[in-house]
Chain A
Amino acid sequence: MIPVCRIEDLPEGESVRIEAGDATAPIAVFHTDGAFYAIDDTCSHQDASLSDGWLEGCYVECPLHAALFDLRSGEPTCLPARKPVRTHAVTVVDGMLYVHPATQIVPGQPVHAAPEEAVA
């Protein structure tokens, strides 16, 4: 579980990128449509940071080639991305936002050993 920020520090329509530790890829956290979402920050197409993307409802558009990802499932809804990004659970405890990095494998992704730091 990784602390992100206090909920008032991530207003509606905003996003933040967090370094989840050496063993886990960076994670993008979004506040949109009245909810918080977390997905892998790096686009599954090439090297772009989805936390820099354009939020439209439950979707984020990649800032490099405009692939659209569903924040709920991590699935791309259009090209050029063809693979999903991982989604991560988000919780709020006492006004503090936490991300729980996913350790399960998304279909089509290579299998990595679950990093120990990520399940603290």
Chain B
Amino acid sequence: MTAARTVTVVGASLAGLHAARGLRTQGYDGRLVVVGEEHHRPYDRPPLSKEFLTGDGDPGEGLGPLALTDPEEEAELDAEWLLGVRAEALDTAAGEIRLTGGRALRTDGVVIATGATPRTLPLPPLDGVHTLRTLDDALRLRAELRAGAERAVVIGAGFIGAEVASSCATLGLDVTVVEAAPLPLVPHLGEEMARVCAGLHTRGGATLLCGTGVAGLRGAGRVTGVELADGRVLPADVVVVGVGVRPVTEWLEGSGLALDDGVRCDAGCVTALPNVVAVGDVARLDRPGSARTVRAEHWTSGMLQGDVAARNLLAGSTVERFDALPYFWSDQYGARIQYAGRRESGDTVRIVEGDPAEGGGFLAVYERNGIPTAALGVDRPRPFMRLRRELARAPQPAGR
């Protein structure tokens, strides 16, 4: 695609921005358009459930420390920013993206970076009920948590739910976390380590209720409580629903691209069309050497895929694969959790440093037939990093 005159990045966030950077650093000097539904320039989401919620002072008007770019870099990128504009459809045959308001954008290359959006529950639309994905979501939640709310109920004890619960506890609210599964995070961490992480809630002063679904909400106009499937009612001034996300692909229906819980691409972020690539939370990649596909919802993948996708888009074929070791971190109740690798159910886990039972930090390694597959650290940044690097270099069991 060396002759491309216009490349359009759809989604002005982490992955889209890094793809745009990748295009420029690899010498693309044609027209670069970035379309973003949010009104903001790219900003960082991880702080939204953490220090942004608990931080002192007025977050102010601008993006402040959340900004992923600065004016100097934006000038270097030399992109046209269409912000507050949604891509409604992609016509691959005509090489056109249809935007809100019916406007069509001619483009030679497309980077799909539309990320993910929170899953919802069939609950009535009451005030005081939140999801958390965008800065605007976070501003609304932040304001309510400071407007005299005393009791928060968080539905879903995944990483974001746990972080929000932790932030609510830091702000002095009485917090209950409701989780439908018998134990949260088992698919991510395995049962043993999931139990340890679940213990963080109690340690941090929140109540974790597992194995019970939510039946409904109480309140007229504004939420006053959460009804559980087992009949209990939890009084609540604020409810946060954190039951996972789904990739944003509706706008690609009818484009001919393969969609299957994400945009299907090869191991180099390239779709069936060499001039259309996908990056970040929306991209479902082939995993070389196995029949499986993977869609990551982690910040580091979103950041790193942009460069690979840009290279392949400019080359017109897949000349590089994305093969970084999956990595994520989470900050909750004063603990820093870090995970890297490709754990699968059945892998054993061994504590190599510290003692989870004592409630302090520890380092655990997952193994299959004696081969390390993943690492989990709680407040052990330095040895965790050593293990993470070893994992990245070591051969992995076949098919991961």
Contact = CB atoms under 8 A, between A and B. Distances in A.
A77 to B, nearest CB: 13
A48 interface: yes
Q: Quick one: which of A48, A53, A80 has the most chain B CB within 10 A?
A: A80
Given A46-B47, A82-B73, A64 B329 contact: yes
B380 to A, nearest CB: 9
Interface string B35-72: 00000000000110001000000000000000010100
A65 B70 contact: no
A79 interface: yes
A105 to B, nearest CB: 18
B385 A63 contact: yes
B389 interface: yes
Majority SS of interface residues in chain A?
Answer: loop
B382 A63 contact: yes
Contact of B381 (A63, A79, A82): A63
Given A63-B381, A63-B382, A79 B303 contact: yes
B73 A47 contact: no
A49 B382 CA distance: 10
Most buried by B among A47, A63, A64: A63
Contacts, number: 32
Which applies to chain B's interface (DSSP): helix, strand, loop or mixed?
helix
A63 B389 CA distance: 11
B59 to A, nearest CB: 16
Contacts of B70: 82
A47 B51 contact: yes
Interface string A10-53: 00000000000000000000000000000000000011110011
B386 interface: yes
Interface residues of A, number: 15
Contacts of A61: 385
B6 interface: no
Interface string A53-67: 110000001011110
B303 A54 contact: no
A119 B193 CA distance: 47
Given A54-B389, A64-B329, A82-B70, A49 B303 contact: no
A49 B47 contact: no
Contacts of A46: 46-47
A63 B384 contact: yes
Contacts of A47: 51
Interface of B: 18, 21, 46-47, 51, 68, 70, 73, 299-300, 303, 329, 338, 381-382, 384-386, 389
